Every structure is written in C-alpha cells, then in structure tokens.
Amino acid sequence: MFSRILHLLLIFLLLSRGVMADSSNTIELPEVSLTGDASLEQLLNQRRSIRDYAAGAVSLNDVGQLLWAAQGITDARGFRTAPSAGALYPLELFLVAGEVNHLSPGVYHYQPDGHRLQKIAADDQRQGLQRAALAQDWIKQAAVVVVFTADYARTARKYGARAERYVHIEVGHAAQNLLLQAEALNLATVPVGAFTDDAVAGVLQLPDDLEPLLLMPVGRK
C-alpha cells in the first residue's frame, strides 16, 4: 500500500514539474535484455572514452538498454540499477535523439516506471545542445545524447547539506553503468561535463527544480 502511494506521489510531482507529456507522446521501449555476450571483466577492460562516432542510427532497443542500465527499475520495491542515498532517486534522464531507428528526432524524458519515453520537444536538438556544450563537435555527431539531470531537493529533504555530495556520487554510478552497457552493445560514448547549465536547461525545456549534471553522447564505433 505504501509503495503504491509513493508511486502516485512521484507521478504527481513529475506532472507538476512539467516533465511528463500527455499519453499520446508516450513511447514504450523494447523489453530489456538481461544476458550478454561479454563478461563484466571484459567490458571493464575494453571500456574507453570515445569522441569520434561513425555515421548511422542506433536502434530503439539500444536506447532502451542504455537508459535501463543507467536508471532502470530492477526490483518490485522500485530499486534501480544504480544505488541511491535513501533510495530517493533524484536523477532524471533525458534523451536528445537525432538518429534512432523507429524514433523521431526530439527530446524525451525517460520514465523508469514502465520503461518508456515521454516526448518533451520535437525536432533534432543536437546542434543546440552542441552549442550549449561549448561547441564540442562530438555532441552533434553522436546519434543520441543522454542528459543526466537531478532534483537536489529530493535528496536534501532527508540528508540536508550532504545531498549535493550524494547526488554527485549517484550520477557517477549511473554513468558508469551506461558506459559499460554501451561497450556491451558495441557503441561508443564519453562523459561530458563542460557545458553551460542554463543553455542545456533551455534545450531540454527543464523545469526550475532540475539541474543538468552530465552529458553522454552515444554513437556507432
């Protein structure tokens, strides 16, 4: 009963912040794969930061797998792939899609509950995001960019001044998950922290309580 109330409260908060679109803009992501060809040790050994991407689209399966790896739900109680202080989950992930098979270009909000996307803005926003990221070319060249944002207040309600530290630890966990999943899919990515916060927030149409923390462009090797 408590988990149901918590779930409804989270939906209300998302709606009030404007990060959820109407149901007509909902995209159900493909079922997640829980098996792979490479061991964790192999993926750790192979992982590299790559800023040069081959031309070509990524699949919707790839997109779903990457987002799930970073913030997917893995337990009936709502626990996720990355640890979170107090299981408060302050991170919100957005996808800036340019070249994805069976997904139109635009900005999407990832909803872990239901493993789906909500379309926030139409059209290819990679160039705008590249300008916001100090003109780093690989932002525009990547098929997609995953943007990690956070609501610090969600963690601060319990942990006060230490919330910022805990949120930054959490985004590191989630980013490493995405890095390893990209390697498992034979895709290339790199963490990007150099950008103008307000400009990124403008491209994503973020509500005031979400702050951008990290960009991860993803493309073909």
Taking only the tens of pLDDT, the chain with its 221 residues reads 444 444 434 444 444 344 443 456 899 999 999 999 999 999 999 999 999 999 999 999 999 999 999 999 999 999 999 999 999 999 999 999 999 999 999 999 999 999 999 999 999 999 999 999 999 999 999 999 999 999 999 999 999 999 999 999 999 999 999 999 999 999 999 999 999 999 999 999 999 999 999 999 999 99
Q: How far apart, in Å, do the first and last CA atoms of the chain sit? A: 46
DSSP states of the chain: -HHHHHHHHHHHHHHHHT----GGGEEEPPPPP---SS-HHHHHHH-------BSSPBPHHHHHHHHHHHH-B-STT--BSS--GGG---EEEEEEESSBTTB-SEEEEEETTTTEEEEEEES--HHHHHHHTTT-HHHHHSSEEEEEEE-HHHHHHHHGGGHHHHHHHHHHHHHHHHHHHHHHTTEEE--B--S-HHHHHHHHT--TT-EEEEEEEEEE-
Residue in the structure block whose two tokens are 């899919």: 185
pTM: 0.88
DSSP states of 118-129: EEEEES--HHHH
pLDDT at residue 177, as a whole number: 98
pLDDT at residue 6, as a whole number: 41
pLDDT at residue 24, as a whole number: 64
pLDDT at residue 7, as a whole number: 41
CB 69 within 8 A of CB 93: no
Single-letter amino acid, residue 52: D
pLDDT at residue 16, as a whole number: 39
188 backbone dihedrals φ, ψ, rounded to 5°: -115, 145
Q: Let me know the angle formed at the C-alpha of 64 by 220 and 18, rounded to the nearest 5 degrees.
A: 115
Q: Please state, in angstroms and rounded to a whole number, the distance separating the CA atoms of residues 218 and 200.
A: 17
Long-range contacts at 69-74 (CB < 8 A, ≥ 24 apart): 69/177, 69/178, 69/180, 69/181, 70/146, 70/148, 70/174, 70/175, 70/177, 70/178, 70/181, 71/110, 71/112, 71/174, 72/32, 72/112, 72/115, 73/112, 73/113, 73/115
Single-letter amino acid, residue 7: H
Query: Is 3.50.50.60 the CATH classification of the domain at 2-220?
Result: no
pLDDT at residue 159, as a whole number: 98
